Amino acid sequence: MHRLFVAIRPPEEIRDLLIAMDDSPDFRWQDDEQLHLTLRFIGQVDRPLADDIASALSRIESEAFELRVAGVGRFEQRSSGALWAGIEPKTAVAALAAKVERVCQEVGLEPERRAFFPHITLARWKGRRSREVADFLERNRALRSDPFQVTQFTLFESRLSRHGAHYEATATYNLR
């Protein structure tokens, strides 16, 4: 079985900006390899379906576009959560995500039920961290990057271990 997702990998200067935010031991920070903007989480699939997905993604046609990092936020569950960097503008990346979603359904995947929300996960936490989360959000609320060009997207395989997730690019698709 292969655990797959489709994502945009930000350029090195954007990843450097985000890694520099690692300023608190209260969170488990993503490393450089893990920084990405997910277009579609696919999950566990067998090899024939993984091959079908890779082939279907190659048929997506889309223009290159610009994005920038803009602001920070959090996702929270009962006693855990994630810090993220926002992305703007959302229109072009949402259109690309919709094309990815469409081809995933064409090869037989169930529709994604969650609304698409473009972001880059920065860190995760477990336990009560209300004060620490609020402090981080306040310190970084004005986060803005220079625009960066998105010229490709990638199909990744995620391998989980006791040391965390390791991501390997299995196919990269160029935008026009």
What would the pLDDT profile of 51-96 be if each residue is shown by its tens digit?
999 999 999 999 999 999 999 999 998 889 999 999 999 999 999 9
Q: Any residues with CB less than 8 A from the CB of 155 and at least 6 apart, and which?
A: 4, 5, 6, 53, 54, 57, 169, 170, 171, 172, 173
Domain ranges of the chain: 2-174
pLDDT of residue 164: 74
> Is 0.85 surpassed by the pTM of this model?
yes
pLDDT of residue 23: 81
Q: Is the Cα torsion angle 116, 34, 10, 84 positive or negative in sign?
A: positive
Q: Any residues with CB less than 8 A from the CB of 59 and at least 6 apart, and which?
A: 103
Please give the helix or strand (H or E) that residue 68 lies within, else none. strand 65-76
- Which CATH number applies to 2-174? 3.90.1140.10
